Amino acid sequence: MRGYWALVSARFRMLLQYRAAAVGGFGTQLFFGLILIMVYEAFYRSSSAPQPLPYADVVTYVWLGQGLLAMLPWNVDAEIRALVRSGNVAYELLRPIDLYNAWYCRALAWRTAPTLLRSVPLFVVAGLFFGLRPPASPAGAAAFLVAMLGALLLGCAITTLMNISLLWTTSDDGIALLLPAAVLVFSGMMVPLPLFPAWAQRILYLLPFRGLIDVPFRLYVGNIPPAECLPLFAQQLAWTAALVLLGRWLLERGKRRLVVQGG
Amino acid sequence: MFNAVHLYFRYLGVSVRSQLQYRASFIMMSLGQLAATGIEFVSVWVLFGHFGSLEGWSLAEVAVFYGLVNIAYSFSDAAARGFDLFGAMVKSGDFDRLLLRPRSTALQLAGQELTLKRIGRLAQGNTVLLWGSAQLGLAWTPTRLALAAGAIIGGACIFYGLFVLQATLAFWTTESLEIVNSVTAGGVQTTQYPLAIYQRWMRRFFTFVVPLACASYFPVVAILGHPDPLGSPVWLQWLAPLAGPAFLALALQVWKIGVRHYTSTGS
């Protein structure tokens, strides 16, 4: 256990060094947030029907999404890709720790440190000037924090799955190109799920992806009452467990058929 | 001049032939790109499904905006790979080699690669555009075709200019800066919808600073025959795409200044 903890904290501290990238990310996310909010503003102006998610909540939702974007499992780990390509992945197999756990720990650090660097300044600026509101209630805030922890564990399971897929594809085409697109749409990152047609919502609420964005963000704005949070947490954990098991099984198969490239 | 054009196409020929050596990979990546970008339109479709219309614009009309800007972007994204990866070249000192050759650096970078897998986004933009125009019953008359070609060429020029400017920054920062990238990606995102829905500062930014709207919004309004809520006259809608080549020419001038500033990092 101590070995894994050292792995997470070492990578976490290393990733905190990329502060220039975080400044760039901050600018990008601020710009995108403003564009998205203007698009929503225009759509909300166009309809006088009562909305399942009020405009002010959508604004908060957009800022949460822009701030926490780096936490989503939307890309593969470039270092693991390089390891697989160069054949150096063989060294990973030699280490006296469980490979799945090690890669999962990498993902944990990789999904938290950059997010922390970007989200804090963005939330401050968006909160002061651009309509990001505090959580709907103290209970909502607590539920949001627990759900974000669940989202992190779930997201890292998906990230690790994508990294494992590199053992088959060696480049980030195929699954590593398609899965991020699915994540962005099905999690509610691109459009909040309550705005989807009813038939699509029924399907999307069963998939693992809603646990990444839809559940925590709607708890934050109070669109899902905090009292309803327990089954949602259970769903997050169940999907996380299922995807971890799938990842472990795939990694075992991948290790057996792995041909190390290069001499 | 003729020689330069000839050389450029030789470069592209080499790049295309080398990519086609990995045929399966090329097909997979193109299909992946098609699906990954196609899913972007899903969000537009969902929003229209929920709200019905966007300030008097229909989904089919937005599809024409969306399709044209994605086509323009896919062309420049495919052709500007050399500039896109330029930061790494400065870092490693490999740019020195380009300076030694008796041809312009911009030409050599432009000829570095024609990224074929971008055909996925191109196909996606085309599909959305054709679907939108079929829904609207738009006949592709020579006038409309001319406007669409102007919009695509003008838009591709502006995106290309942004890639060149991003590369130019690397002369000073040695690191490719994400910030220009965000203007590019933000520009694609913004001009997928009619410019008229945005607040004034955003409209001005994409008309006067990075004139993407000149190569998408104004010509598309003329193609659709939709009265412009911003009140632009028809002659302006026709001339606006010329801002594209002008922007690219300006970017290339800035590039020349950057090259003069270059000091090698290599040893």
Q: Does residue A263 fall inside a structural domain?
A: no
Residue among A42, A181, A196 minimizing CB distance to B54 = A42
Residue among B32, B54, B190 minimizing CB distance to A173 = B32
Residue among A34, A174, A195 minimizing CB distance to B28 = A174
The residue in chain A having the minimum alpha-carbon distance to the alpha carbon of residue B49 is A197
**B19, B22, B26, B39: which to substitute to probe chain A, counting the most A Cβ within 10 Å?**
B39
**Distant-in-sequence, close-in-space partners of B45: CB < 8 Å, separation ≥ 6:** B59
How does DSSP classify residue A91? H
Q: What is the pLDDT along chain B (267 residues), one digit of tens a residue?
A: 778 889 888 988 898 888 888 777 778 778 878 887 888 899 999 999 999 999 999 999 999 999 999 999 999 999 998 888 888 888 888 888 888 888 888 888 888 888 888 888 899 999 999 999 999 999 999 999 999 999 999 999 999 999 999 889 888 876 656 678 888 989 999 999 999 999 999 999 999 999 999 999 999 999 999 999 998 999 999 999 999 999 999 999 999 999 888 887 755
Number of domains within chain A: 1
Q: Does residue A237 fall inside a structural domain?
A: yes
* Confidence (pLDDT) at B229: 92
Alpha-carbon span A73 to A95, nearest angstrom:
26
Q: Which domain holds residue A202?
A: 2-257
What digits encode the pLDDT tens for the residues B25-74?
Answer: 778 778 878 887 888 899 999 999 999 999 999 999 999 999 999 999 99
**H or E stretch including A113?**
helix A99-129
* Confidence (pLDDT) at B230: 92
Q: What is the pLDDT along chain A (263 residues), one digit of tens a residue?
A: 788 888 888 888 888 877 777 777 888 899 999 999 999 999 999 988 889 999 999 999 999 999 998 899 888 888 888 888 777 888 888 888 888 999 999 999 989 988 888 899 999 999 999 999 999 999 999 999 999 999 999 999 999 998 888 887 766 566 667 788 889 899 999 999 999 999 999 999 999 999 999 999 999 999 999 999 999 999 999 999 999 999 999 999 988 877 665 54
Q: Does residue B224 fall inside a structural domain?
A: yes
Buried/exposed code over B115-136 (b: 16+ C-beta within 10 A; e: otherwise): bebbbbbbbbbbbbbebbbeeb
| Residue A160 identity | T
| Residue A242 identity | A
Alpha-carbon span B73 to B181, nearest angstrom:
13
Q: Does residue B267 fall inside a structural domain?
A: no
ipTM summary value: 0.89
Q: Does residue B266 fall inside a structural domain?
A: no
Q: Does residue B87 fall inside a structural domain?
A: yes
| Residue A221 identity | V
The residues of B whose Cβ lies within 8 A of any Cβ of A are 25, 28-29, 32-33, 35-36, 39-40, 42-43, 46-47, 49-56, 175, 177-179, 181-183, 185-186, 189-190, 193, 197-199, 202
* Confidence (pLDDT) at B49: 93
Residue among A44, A46, A200 minimizing CB distance to B53 = A46
Q: Does residue A262 fall inside a structural domain?
A: no
List CB contacts (< 8 A) between B36 and chain A: 177-178, 180-181
Q: Does residue A154 fall inside a structural domain?
A: yes
Within 10 angstroms of residue A101's Cβ, the number of other Cβ atoms is 16
Q: By C-alpha distance, which of A74, A73, A66 is closest to A25?
A: A66
Alpha-carbon span A92 to A259, nearest angstrom:
14
C-alpha triplet A32, A153, A84: angle, nearest 5° = 85
Q: Which domain holds residue B104?
A: 2-261
Say if residues A208 and A237 touch (Cβ distance below 8 Å).
no
Q: By C-alpha distance, which of B63, B132, B196, B69 is closest to A45?
A: B196
Number of domains within chain B: 1
* Confidence (pLDDT) at A263: 47
Q: What is the pTM of this model?
A: 0.89
Q: Does residue B204 fall inside a structural domain?
A: yes
